[in-house]
Amino acid sequence: MTETRPLEGIRVLDLSHVLAGPYMTLFLAQNGAEVIKIENPAGGDMARRLVARSTDGRDIDHVAAYLNRGKKGLALNLRSDEGKAIFRDLVAKSDIVVENFTPATLKRLGFGYEELKAINPAIIYTSLSGFGHDDIYPSPMMHRPAFNLIAQAMGGIMDITGEADGPPIPTGVALGDLVAGIFALSGTLLALQHRARTGVGQHVDISMYDCLASFSQRAVLRTYLTGEVPTRGRDSRENPLGSFKVKDGYVVMTLMGAPMWQRFCAMIDRQDLLDHPDLNPDAARGARFDTVLRPMLEEWAEDKTRDEVVALFSAADLPAAPVQDAADLLACEQLRARRMIEDVDDPVRGPMVYTGNPIKLSNMREKVPSPAPALGQDTASVLEGLLGLSPDRIAALRQSGTL
Amino acid sequence: MTETRPLEGIRVLDLSHVLAGPYMTLFLAQNGAEVIKIENPAGGDMARRLVARSTDGRDIDHVAAYLNRGKKGLALNLRSDEGKAIFRDLVAKSDIVVENFTPATLKRLGFGYEELKAINPAIIYTSLSGFGHDDIYPSPMMHRPAFNLIAQAMGGIMDITGEADGPPIPTGVALGDLVAGIFALSGTLLALQHRARTGVGQHVDISMYDCLASFSQRAVLRTYLTGEVPTRGRDSRENPLGSFKVKDGYVVMTLMGAPMWQRFCAMIDRQDLLDHPDLNPDAARGARFDTVLRPMLEEWAEDKTRDEVVALFSAADLPAAPVQDAADLLACEQLRARRMIEDVDDPVRGPMVYTGNPIKLSNMREKVPSPAPALGQDTASVLEGLLGLSPDRIAALRQSGTL
């Protein structure tokens, strides 16, 4: 075990806001990078205004709190001349810039990749957007509106999520942002790898639509080859696979192959079904999951709890698991053992619970990160430390609204 | 533009199968690594048996075809003494090992991380599994069955996906595998970064459950703070946001704030609703999305196509997008412009369509990768080239079933 985290010594200027960008830079911070979150002095990241009312009546900026742990806070007005000059000086002393504005925004401010590269040829410039920028590849849809729901809808995920006779259903988490965030993390790390060899930086251009289209690979290829478009609720029925209601919730299960079917019939005490022509082989059981298997299972399970049902499946050597909600995750021993759920006493916000870093490295001791910064909390120390600005100069810049 | 791809010179021994591992190593290959896919000589990766019947009547191993592009194929029996000796020699000459067996499997064969580290201290050993291994953190659930549906169910995603009065719905793509694959990619790149500084490798331990729990962060924290568990179909209704049926499919949209509401009422020619007490402010429209807004929109759109509806929204400066299926992705100009959908003429399989690499780097020219290897296709050249085995020796090893 060494004490060095992989990204120690790497400095990140994080211009991103709300979800996709901050989720990505959270992993940079957790792995040792110095992430300086730069926000406009007039209000900062919109995430600061997403509050949850706690049981003891406090409004807590929970989204900013979990996304920005371990980062420094710098307030800087990028529209003022003095602010622009300070940002340019910071770029000269940094390794990575991350942004998720709509594609034209930073170029308009004079901070497109080409401009920053002229200041610092080693800079890595990571963009997250709905449809991508147009400097590496053309992007005809570049100026379309883009957010999570649109990425899920256009990327092909939503169309195949839902019941056979129901509407397309969005996934309950912001897949568009979260998936783009992890791809952007990988892309940035690839650019660091490339820079270590060549000394030059590059633009990393991540599009939410591209990322979710990559997840639709199998459906796209099957459609091309077979001429048949996969539809909601049917594709997964090649094997019997799905959820059913029990006394206190839902359980998921699957059956694959004759030996599982035999154990299943024994478990529910329905040996009469073993050779039933409508329920053999696998594909027949899959096709009748909704109409035959699920109703049968729900009748069998109506007086049994989720835990009892999972235990019965497990005793029969059949795979099953509870459908868990957020309260289940909070209580889960496995997640706590792996530091995926952690109690943290935030000096400002009080007791909080955060999910951890799913990238578990044997050579890295995970640290409890510092709490998310207040707006501009580290402005003076960053500008003094990195750029040598005097306290008087900083006070004047505060006065003028630059900081 | 340099011609060097970021991972050129990095050699990967890929023991993984079907989805999560091969999806991850696909990105290693696309970014320049030499990925040697190692399969048992008796049949190889199960993905080879997932076929789609093409319109001209051929059975095509489409899953193996798209996941294993750009990789080399080595057939090797890891259970035989001679096979084990060859694998150890390969580990001594490689940078990364990737595996997604159930946690005890490789340890039982003598190839746990500790054993491989003894052969090559710089080796990076990336594991993907349902619940994680137990050498870095405890993993009480390590031996439970795990696959995509179970990860979605336990990770909290499925419980909040679906309609308010319906069952939990699994997302139509294999999120458990795909998300773990990208986190494993980032983890491996972090370990490479760490190795460049310290000279030592490490174990990268990725769990599908951990990864999806990270996606549930907001729900977990809100539950902790507010005592209220987010439920299906309700959480997204704080703003009016959702899909509605049109003549030839579905469209997604959102309305946020009074100016959008004004433009919306003008677009559907219902100025009478502008100050309607049941539909003001945003939260009231959100709460009535299912009962009032959606039926109204569906009536308005029943004689309009998806493209017409999206164009009308766009003309009114309101965000909307089509819910696309796989056929739409195949035809999409944006995805083709960005090389996210590519026609490839596979010398064995004929014309194929693949989705590309969503990590767009300005300094890397993307190459069309070689087709997925036949089982053991590169066995002789890899063993001759890397380990100096003679053709006679290779023939004898083939004879004995080792290769």
pLDDT digits (tens, 9 = 90+) for A334-356: 999 999 999 999 988 999 999 99
With CA atoms as reference, the chain B residue closest to A254 would be B149
Chosen for mutation from A51, A63, A208, A334 (greatest number of chain B CBs closer than 10 Å) is A334
With CA atoms as reference, the chain A residue closest to B227 would be A55
pLDDT at residue number A243: 92
* A173-196 pLDDT tens trace: 999 999 999 999 999 999 999 999
Question: How many of the other CB atoms lie within 10 Å of CB of A381?
Answer: 12
Question: How many of the other CB atoms lie within 10 Å of CB of A102?
Answer: 14
Please check the confidence at residue A44 and state whether its pLDDT lies above 80.
Answer: yes
With CA atoms as reference, the chain A residue closest to B163 would be A169
Query: What span, in angstroms and rounded, lies between the C-alpha atoms of B362 and A114?
Result: 11
Which of A32-36, A159-163, B92-96, B238-242 has the lowest average pLDDT? B238-242
Q: Please, is A151 exposed, middle or buried when counting C-beta atoms within 10 Å of its C-beta (0-12, 13-18, 19+)?
A: buried
- Residues whose CB is less than 8 angstroms from the CB of residue A164 and which lie 6 or more positions away in sequence, other chains included: A231, A232, A233, A234, A290
* A 266-285 residues with CB < 8 A to B: none
φ, ψ of residue A53 to 5 degrees: the values are -85, 115
Query: What span, in angstroms and rounded, lies between the C-alpha atoms of A180 and A24?
Result: 8
Domains recognised in chain B with CATH numbers: 11-216+332-399 (3.40.50.10540), 239-325 (3.30.1540.10)
pLDDT at residue number B1: 58
B372 within 8 A of B68, measured Cβ to Cβ: yes
Q: Which run of H or E residues covers position A335? A: helix A333-337
Q: Collapsing DSSP states into helix, strand and coil, what is residue A276?
A: coil
A132 touches chain B (CB under 8 A): yes
Yes or no, beta carbons of B207 and A330 under 8 Å apart: no
Please check the confidence at residue B238 and state whether its pLDDT lies above 80.
Answer: no
Q: Which run of H or E residues covers position B176? A: helix B175-198
B63, B162, B206 member nearest A358 (Cβ):
B206
Query: What span, in angstroms and rounded, lies between the C-alpha atoms of A5 and A357?
Result: 13
Give yes or no: A275 in active site.
no
A15 within 8 A of A99, measured Cβ to Cβ: yes
Q: Which of A45, A61, A177, A282 is catalytic?
A: A177
Q: What secondary structure, in 3-state letters, does B253-318 show?
A: EECCCHHHHHHHHHHCCCHHHCCCHHHCCHHHHHHCHHHHHHHHHHHHHCCCCHHHHHHHHHHCCC
Please check the confidence at residue A238 and state whether its pLDDT lies above 80.
Answer: no
CB burial string B278-302: b at 16+ within 10 A, e below? ebeebeebbbbbbebbbebbeebbe
Which token pair is A141?
């849809």
pLDDT at residue number B183: 98
Name the average pLDDT for chain B.
94
Please check the confidence at residue A237 and state whether its pLDDT lies above 70.
Answer: no
Q: Which of B14, B177, B205, B210 is catalytic?
A: B177
With CA atoms as reference, the chain A residue closest to B142 would be A334
Q: State how far the alpha carbon of A155 is from the alpha carbons of A100, A164, B7, B294, B366, in Å.
A: 19, 19, 28, 22, 22
* B107-130 pLDDT tens trace: 999 999 999 999 999 999 999 999
A344 touches chain B (CB under 8 A): no
pLDDT at residue number A236: 58
Which token pair is B335?
């995805």
Which token pair is B66?
């798209």
Q: Which run of H or E residues covers position B14? A: strand B11-14
* B378-402 pLDDT tens trace: 999 999 999 999 999 999 999 999 9
pLDDT at residue number B2: 61
- Residues whose CB is less than 8 angstroms from the CB of residue A307 and which lie 6 or more positions away in sequence, other chains included: A322
Chosen for mutation from B243, B294, B314 (greatest number of chain A CBs closer than 10 Å) is B243
Residue reference for tokens 């599994």: B129
Chosen for mutation from B157, B183, B325 (greatest number of chain A CBs closer than 10 Å) is B325
Yes or no, beta carbons of A243 and B203 under 8 Å apart: no
B22 within 8 A of B45, measured Cβ to Cβ: yes
B132, B220, B324 member nearest A360 (Cβ):
B132
Yes or no, beta carbons of B226 and A175 under 8 Å apart: no
Residue reference for tokens 């080796």: B123
Q: Any alpha helices (H) in B68-146, and if so which ranges?
A: 81-92, 105-108, 113-119
* A157-175 pLDDT tens trace: 999 999 888 999 999 999 9
- Report, as an integer, the average pLDDT of A197-215: 97
B51 touches chain A (CB under 8 A): no
- CA torsion through residues A60, A66, A72, A76, sign: negative
pLDDT band at A290 (very low <50, low <70, confident <90, very high): confident
B59 touches chain A (CB under 8 A): no
A194 touches chain B (CB under 8 A): yes
Please check the confidence at residue B236 and state whether its pLDDT lies above 70.
Answer: no
B202 touches chain A (CB under 8 A): yes
Beta bridge partners of A125: A97, A203
pLDDT at residue number B201: 97
